Amino acid sequence: MDLYKRIKKEDKVIYKAIAGEWERQADGLELIPSENYTSPAVMEAMGSILTNKYSEGYPNRRYYGGNEFIDQIETEAIERTKKIFGVPFANVQPYSGSPANLAVYVAICKPGDAVMGLNLPDGGHLTHGWKYSATALFYKSIPYHVREDGRIDMEEVRKLAHEHKPKLIWVGATAYPYLYDYKSFMEIADEVGAFVAADIAHVAGLIVAGAHPSPAAHAHIITTTTHKTLRGPRGGIIMTTARGIAKDAELAQRIDKAIIPGLQGGPHNHQTAAIAIALKEAATPAFKSYGKQIVRNAKALAESLKKNGLKLVSGGTENHLLLLDLVPVFGPGGGHFASDALEIAGMTANKNTIPKDPGSAFYPSGVRLGTPALTTRGMKEAEMKKVGEWVARAIQEAHKYRLPTETKDRPAYLEKAKKELKRNTNLKKIRQEVRIFCKKYPLPHLART
């Protein structure tokens, strides 16, 4: 860990934690679909002197002096975004995906305006109007849902849109294994005069690779994170499409103003440079193959999980993520047991709600898995077969647990279950197999020392 030798010298506490995290990332299987391993060049930019500079404003329109080089960097990031996604306007300053989304509300809605988004327990994101999010506190949130089969209920979307006349309709999610039907959303929005914002946080890299349809022709606004399938640093981007500008000639300016002075101060210039580098990487043929492989791997993982006796929402996947329906294993609310068993066995995943979840948002009945990070490590279909077996074996080790019906009994029960799982020798055995396997697929980052 030569890379962090200055931290090692100056701050032992933080150094030890970083070293621990390094080992965790290198020796385990990352199955969280929103995570990835970014490139060494992106890392370098994140650790660069650019973090020292203030540059409130936009290229050639700054409140501070000394921004000649920062302007070059931000302009490059904007131009690369426009080219790669085929849009006429981009703002690359959002600190992350959530502030990017909030800026969209600020740009086009007044407090109290009706907005629509996919309900969080149905796979939607917090910022699409979940009841505890600022987006529901300040705007009138009308959630839409998925049908029994897990697909978005477009009939309900149309009915709610006509009933509530929303200003803004979100399309995008965090736990949705199907492709998005951007065109149908656009048609409904046109019927009621709403703006459509496509939130492609999860699928941006797939879109760039041609492994998922692009919303560029069927949305007014596109928002994305830069750190999920796009494989850049943490960050956010807001794009305005030609369609958006045709609907509101001032839309791009409104979005710029919503970011600053509306919501943010100085941009994170180190992050902007890292985003620019990630976009250059994403424009290569190698990235196209990467994006296509993510989807092939997800399909292979789905097959392996099913072959090993697990049930998937929708029976499979059309993108990079899978939702395990664990009701057949644990009854309602067993997501915790599965994610604990997986973690102990060296696989990181997150518990998640499934459509019509018989558990709750806090005690969901599913687990969400994805292949972007494993694909970055160079794994292919054959490796996914193995990963599926390990996942199934680990979950099997926890199968006897049942979530207590009394809410107050749950924390203690979960703690006890986790303690027992930690002592489980079969899980320890899987952990060891996973560790050995991972050595063959080093992180794209600098060699371990």
Q: Which of the residues 234, 280, 410, 435 is marked catalytic? A: 234
* Minimum separation from the CB atom of position 320 to ligand PLP (A): 12
Of 8, 35, 44, 54, the active-site residue reads: 54
The distance of closest approach from Cβ of residue 45 to ligand PLP in the complex, given in angstroms and rounded to an integer, is 18
- SS3 category, 428: helix
Q: Is 174 a catalytic residue?
A: no
Q: Which is nearer to ligand PLP, 304 or 353 (CB)?
A: 353
Nearest Cα residue to 59 out of 73, 40, 38 = 73
Spacing of C-alpha 68 from chain mean position: 33
* Cα gap 292→370, rounded to integer Å: 14
- Whichever of 354 and 403 has its CB closer to ligand PLP, that residue is 354
Query: Minimum distance between the CB of residue 122 and ligand PLP, rounded to whole angstroms?
Result: 13
228 is annotated as an active-site residue = yes
Is 113 an active-site residue? no
CB of 218 to ligand PLP, least distance (A): 17
User: Among 38, 135, 223, 225, which one carries the catalytic annotation?
Assistant: 225
CA angle 83–222–128, rounded 5-degree value? 160
State how beta strands 140-144 and 321-325 pair.
unpaired
Residues 64, 71 contacting (CB under 8 angstroms):
no
Query: Rounded to whole angstroms, how far apart are CA atoms 291 and 275?
Result: 18
Q: Which is nearer to ligand PLP, 36 or 304 (CB)?
A: 36
**Which residue type does 385 have?**
K
Q: What's the min distance (Å) between Cβ of 191 and ligand PLP?
A: 24
Pairing relation of β-strands 168-171 and 114-118?
parallel
Cα 382 versus chain centre, distance: 25
Nearest to ligand PLP of 67, 353 (CB atom): 353
Residue 140: Cβ within 10 Å count: 16
Taking the least distance from each CB to ligand PLP, the nearer of 127 and 272 is 127
Cβ proximity to ligand PLP, 98 vs 297, nearer residue = 98
Q: CB atoms < 10 A from the CB of 248, how many?
A: 16
Compute the least distance from the CB of residue 324 to ligand PLP, in Å.
18
Among the options 74, 122, 199, 325, which is catalytic? 199
DSSP calls for 39-78: -HHHHHHHTSGGGG----EETTEESSS--HHHHHHHHHHH
Annotated catalytic, 225?
A: yes
Residue nearest to ligand PLP (CB): 97
- Return the number of the residue (126 or 345) whose C-beta is nearest ligand PLP: 126
Residues 229, 18: Cα–Cα separation, whole Å: 23
Q: On the CB side of 231, how many CA atoms lie within 13 Å of its CA?
A: 33
List residues binding ligand PLP (CB under 6 A).
Answer: 34, 96-98, 101, 125, 127, 172-174, 199, 201-202, 225
Smallest gap from Cβ 312 to ligand PLP, in A, equals: 20
Whole-number minimum distance, CB 131 to ligand PLP, in Å? 16
Contact 334, 345 (CB under 8 A): no
Whichever of 134 and 436 has its CB closer to ligand PLP, that residue is: 134
Rg, the chain, Cα only? 22
> What gap in Å lies between CA 423 and CA 58, rounded to an integer?
55
Q: Tell me the CA distances in angstroms from 73 to 63, 277, 278, 336, 361, one per residue in order.
A: 17, 10, 13, 44, 41
Q: Which of 299, 345, 338 is nearest to 322 (CA)?
A: 299
Which residues are catalytically annotated?
Answer: 54, 56, 199, 225, 228, 234
